[in-house]
Amino acid sequence: MRKFVYVALMAIVGSAIWMTFTSAAEEANRLWEEKVYKETSSQLEVNVTYPHFIGLEDEAFQKKLNKRIEKRVKQTIADVKEEADETPGFPYILYMTYDVKQDVHFYSVVLREETSRGNNFDQRVHSYNFENIDEASFVPIKEYVPNVDELNKAIKRQIDQRPNEFFTGDEGFKGVRDNQPYYVEDGKITVIFNKYEIAPGYVGTPEFTIPLDEIQ
C-alpha cells in the first residue's frame, strides 16, 4: 500500500481541492511528486493526478516540463468547466491519470484524459519524452525514430492483422503525426492513438508496441 509522509494542501475553494503528495522514505529516490486536483458540483466531477518533477539533472528543462504538463492539465480542466456551464444537463466527468515510463536514462510521461457526459465518452493521450541528462530537451517521435517509414510499416502490419478494428481509406492510418504520443520501455516503443483517430470508439486508444531493433 502506498504511504505518504507529507501532504501539502495547496488550495481549497468550495469543493475544489489542490493537493501535493511527496512519497515516503522507501520511494525517496523518485524524480517526481504527485499532484492531485478534485472538484465536484451538480454539473461537474473532476479527478486529476499528474506528476511534478523535482529531481531531474537539468533544472531549466525541469521547469519547462512541469510548466508544459501543468498547462495541459489546467487547460483541460478549464475546457470541461466551460462546456459544463454552457450546456447544463448530465454531469460532466473528467478523469486524468498518468504513467512515467523509463528506458535507462530516457523517460516518457503519458497523460491520459477520459471525459464522459451521459452516453458520450472520449479519451485523449499526451506524452512528454526526454533524456534525464545535463542538457535535456523534448524528443518528438520523429526525432526518436529517424526511420519513420519503418515505424509506419510496423504499425500497418499490426493493423492488417486486425483489419475489422480499424478505419480504412481517408479515415484510416496514414502514418504517425509529428506530436504522436509514445513511450519507450524495455527496449520497445509503444505508439498511442487517440480515441476515434484511426479506429471506432469501442477500440479506445489503440497502442502498438514495437521492438526498437526492428525499426532502426
Reply yes or no on whether the pLDDT at 134 is more than 50: yes
* High-pLDDT (> 90) share of the chain, %: 78
| Predicted TM-score of the model (pTM) | 0.88
Nearest 5°: CA angle at 134, between 128 and 140?
A: 25
Domain spans in the chain, listed from the N-terminal domain onward: 1-139, 140-216
Mean pLDDT is lowest, of 23-37, 68-82, 92-106, for 23-37
Cell of 75: 487547460
What percent of the chain is predicted at pLDDT more than 70? 89
Q: Is the pLDDT of residue 140 over 90?
A: yes
175-185 pLDDT tens trace: 999 999 999 99
Name residue, grid cell 499490426. 158
Q: What are phi and psi of 98, to 5 degrees?
A: -145, 160
Distance of alpha carbon 21 from the chain centroid = 19
* Residue 70 pLDDT grade (very low, low, confident, very high; cuts 50, 70, 90): very high
Q: Name the pLDDT band for 168 (thresholds 50, 70, 90).
A: very high
Q: What is the pLDDT of residue 85?
A: 86
What was the pLDDT predicted at 30?
83
Mean pLDDT of the chain: 90
Q: Which three cell numbers stand for residue 31?
A: 524524480
Cell of 25: 522514505
pLDDT number for residue 88? 78
| For residue 160, pLDDT beyond 80 | yes
- What CA–CA distance (Å, rounded) separates 120 from 86? 16
Q: Which CATH architecture has domain 1-139?
A: 2-Layer Sandwich (3.30)
Integer CA distances (angstroms), 181 to 7, 16, 45, in order:
31, 29, 26
pLDDT score for 173: 98
- The CA dihedral of 97, 195, 107, 131, to the nearest 10 degrees, is -130
- Structural fold of domain 140-216: Actin; Chain A, domain 4 (3.90.640)
pLDDT bracket for residue 15 (50, 70, 90): low
| Residue 35 pLDDT class (50, 70, 90 cuts) | very high
Interval 87-119: pLDDT, tens: 878 899 999 999 999 999 999 999 999 999 988
Q: How many helices (H) and strands (E) does the chain have?
A: 3, 10
